[in-house]
Amino acid sequence: MTDGVSQAKRALRRALRAHRRGLAPSERAAWDDAAQRALMTHPAFHSAHRVLLYRAFDGEVSTDAVAAAALDARRQVLYARVGEDRILEWVQPTGWAAGALGLPVPQGPAAPAQPDDFVVVPGVAFDPFGFRVGLGGGIYDRTLASQQACTAVGLAYAFQRVAHVPRAPWDVRLDAVATDRGLVLTRPEESNH
């Protein structure tokens, strides 16, 4: 990645993570609820047999209501865990352990992704074209590149939507982004980008 893209991503990450961590608990709870409700309006959420989630960390939007709704609809819910090849594997947890920096890690056997899975993706910043800035490891991009048939939707607060995120050639587009202000389907890239 070029130094300019890398530096721009670091600056965006620093500012938005600080903003996210600084939310008041009442504000966070209301916005988490609204963002999760928006995510569940995506048609693929209702047709998927499995919902693949992250466990909220570092001020990310919670996925607890999404998990509860999926389970109520008798869908299988699996959580992300980083595999040895730095690609996510999906786990129906039998328990949880604290990983690096306190990241919650699901325990249990892993299952491969399936083409009709609905993947909920965390991030720090999202643009209208479906590109995102994550925590910097490229794990979701590598995973989504290998599972392109899945529907992938970002989950964030409205202030995390920006006009354009710096991107590298390997960054993967999402199908939509859900925030506390609603669900936004991504649009095709403009020709001048």
CATH code, domain with 151: 3.40.50.10420
Regarding pTM above 0.75, the answer is yes
| 192, part of any domain | no
Q: Which has the higher per-residue pLDDT, 126 or 190?
A: 126
In a domain, 193, yes or no: no
Q: Over the stretch 70-90, which tens digit does the pLDDT of each residue have?
A: 999 999 999 999 988 888 999
In one-letter notation, the amino acid at residue 41 is T
Amino acid at 173: R
Query: What domain range is 62 assigned to?
Result: 3-185
191, part of any domain: no
Across the range 41-68, mean pLDDT stands at: 96
Residue 96 has pLDDT above 70, yes or no: yes
Kind plus residue range of the DSSP H or E element containing 30: helix 25-39
The conformation of residue 60, written as its DSSP 8-state character, comes to P
Q: What's the rounded Cα separation, in Å, for the pair 67 and 51?
A: 8
Q: Give per-residue pLDDT as tens, 133-172.
A: 988 788 999 899 887 678 999 999 999 999 998 888 888 9
Q: Is residue 114 part of a domain?
A: yes
155 inside domain: yes
- Biggest CA-to-CA distance, the chain: 48
Give residue 138's pLDDT: 83
Indicate if the pLDDT at residue 98 is higher than 60.
yes
Instruction: Report percent pLDDT > 70 for the chain.
Output: 96
Residue 113: what pLDDT? 87
Q: Does a structural domain hold residue 30?
A: yes
CA end-to-end distance (rounded Å), the chain = 17
Q: Give a yes or no: residue 190 inside a domain.
A: no
Strand order in the sheet with 88-91: 110-111, 88-91, 76-82, 50-53, 118-121, 151-155, 176-179, 182-185
- Say how many domains are in the chain: 1
**Residue 178 in domain:** yes
